Chain A
Amino acid sequence: MTNTINNTLRWRQLLDKVFFGVICFFSALSVLPLILILGYLLVKGVTSLNWQFFCRVPQPLGETGGGILNALCGSLLLLAVAFLLAVPLGLFVGIYLAENKKNRLADCARLSVEILQGVPSIVIGLVLYTWLVLPLKSFSALAGGAALALMMLPVSVRSTEETLRLIPPELKEAALALGVPYYRTILRVVVPSGLSGIVTGVLLSLARVAGETAPLLFTAFGNPFLSLALFQPIESLPHLIFYYATSPYAEWHRLAWGASFVLVAGVLFLNLAAKFLTRRWRVQF
């Protein structure tokens, strides 16, 4: 009798230990791909970096050297366009949603933002292609930036709304009680106290779209030359990586590894900056 009890107990304890081992094993296993990817990027990427890499455009096939200046400038321009289109709108919508919790327009807008967040990036590219590329008859930086803006919008709306929700209503009531007009209360009291959350959201949304390729395929398209024109096709880092990675030339692969390294470093930097800002600026209530 005691023997069987001891046996079941031992069995249960063994099962518990095995389970713990399995969990640890799988958790460790999931770190492996990250180490492999970052390791490859470091080894292959850093070796292809030099000053030429940052300040020259790609050379014609057969010539060594050349860099990714066009893609760097292009990515920055696309992000700037997306930022200008998405952030002010996202801020206003976020304020509206935080101020109006329950009315039909707010529900509609909230639902739209939620759906927009889940739209596959390639579909955004497809729609922006019909909106901006077909009527203007040319691939353009504007279309690419608008596609990225559409991807940024949900993140910046949600972060604004969620941050402003957390701000205690007493703050707003105090301002209103002093006779401050409503719009000044929002712009001078509520928004500044939630600024760290809003900025974090903006940085995260920039990090999210900086690496997007699919919406740029038929909007910004790509351009082997240095261009900063809004209505011309433009190169971007992710597109350059895609184009060069799938090409058969070793020299282009080298550029793609270098560009991947720069892109991942940039995205991680934005993520870390967002994290640092939340810690540093957080206003405690």
Chain B
Amino acid sequence: MLSNLSLQTKENIFQQILSKSALFVAAVLSLFFLTLLLKSLPALWSNGFNFFTGTVWDPLTGEYGAFSLLYGTLLTSVGALLLTLPLALSIALFLGEFFRQGLAASALRLSVELLAGIPSVVYGFWALFVLVPLIRRLETTLGIVPFGVGILTAALVLAIMIIPYAASLSAEVIKLVPQDIREAAYSLGATRYEVIRRVILPYARSGICAGILLAFGRAFGETMAVTMVIGNANKMPASLFDTGNTMASLIANELAEATDPLYVSSLAQIGLLLLAVSALINLAGRSISKKFSVET
């Protein structure tokens, strides 16, 4: 049948398919936003500002304050970022500056790639059986209630998970630092440490920031590994060892059993917030890294 069509028609059909599929993708994303927005409208209306300031999340009384969840999300993801930073920067310098080739570099590169490939549910499972008992022992020696699960455990798992995201982009950027400015610094008598601190890191700053930002976005939206080890308690965590909850993990736990329309709508509102924040982080990270790649 297709062979009967004239060349012009075939050409048109092909062009149409291409542009329509591009249009389709844009439409799907707009629909995505719209769906969440429409779903969360009743909650936006009824929760009002209490959504951001209230600390009580209680579907029974119909009170939906998400501040404790926001706090829990920030605590785990910022904690994870702080724990990852020394590791990821070390890897980036190791692969980008000290050892670009060789056995050690390939081994480290392979290990980072493997780390990125492990599914988050496996991280959670492993953490549940290995990290949680360790933390519990630590808590017993410190004399705190030994939950084992909690903010600190979640931050630890997240830190391991986001190492590859922060490290690989930073390593690439450090490799891109022009050789002549390195050599200029060496010829002035700088040691390697001074070259890295005064020349390489300032030059690669924006790219490293982009990597860190993308890793933060990843930690911010991560669900499974967190939900398995954070304890899922919808309250303000009193300390790092206390149980808590994050926005993503709350949706995972409660959507399936939410029946009240306002309840579902409040969960959608949390989803909307997650989407908006991670879209902003992601776009910022990408625009920084894009600007950088144009410069070099």
Spell out A's residues near B (CB within 8 Å).
12-13, 15-16, 19-20, 22-27, 29-31, 33-34, 36-38, 40-41, 89, 92-93, 95-97, 99, 105-106, 108-109, 111-123, 125-127, 129-131, 150, 153, 157, 181-183, 186, 207, 210-214, 217-218, 238, 241-242, 245-246, 253, 256-257, 260, 263-264, 267-268, 271
Contact = CB atoms under 8 A, between A and B. Distances in A.
A105 B19 contact: yes
Interface residues of B, number: 82
A31 B223 CA distance: 23
A150 to B, nearest CB: 8
Contacts of A105: 19, 22-23, 26
Contact of B248 (A13, A130, A214, A245): A214
A31 to B, nearest CB: 5
A213 B113 contact: no
B267 interface: yes
Given A37-B126, A95-B18, A127-B32, A122 B281 contact: no
Contacts of B60: none
A15 B191 CA distance: 9
Contacts of A129: 255
B72 to A, nearest CB: 15
B193 A118 contact: no
Nearest to B32: A127
B142 interface: no
B271 A109 contact: no
B37 to A, nearest CB: 11
B124 interface: yes
User: Sorted from nearest, which 9 A-B pairs have the closest CB atoms?
Assistant: A211-B119, A120-B221, A118-B282, A26-B90, A183-B14, A112-B29, A92-B21, A109-B22, A16-B191
Contacts of A210: 119
B121 A211 contact: yes
Contacts, number: 240
Interface stretch (B45-53, B63-71, B91-99, B234-242): B91-99
A25 B17 CA distance: 54
A120 B248 contact: yes
A5 B65 CA distance: 63
B252 interface: yes
A127 B31 CA distance: 10
A120 B94 CA distance: 30
Determine chain B's interface SS by DSSP, over half rule.
helix
Nearest to B161: A33
21 contacts: A26-B90, A30-B87, A38-B114, A95-B18, A99-B18, A109-B26, A112-B29, A114-B282, A115-B279, A118-B217, A122-B252, A122-B274, A129-B255, A153-B25, A183-B13, A211-B122, A214-B224, A217-B256, A245-B125, A245-B228, A256-B125
A106 B94 CA distance: 39
Contacts of A106: 22
A108 B29 CA distance: 10
Interface in B76-104: 86-91, 93-94, 98
Contacts of B10: 181, 183
A30 B251 CA distance: 31
B282 A117 contact: yes
A245 B90 contact: no
A46 B256 CA distance: 33
Contacts of B220: 120
B44 to A, nearest CB: 16
A123 B151 CA distance: 22
Given A89-B25, A113-B25, A246-B128, A37 B118 contact: yes
B75 to A, nearest CB: 17
B73 to A, nearest CB: 11
B191 A157 contact: no
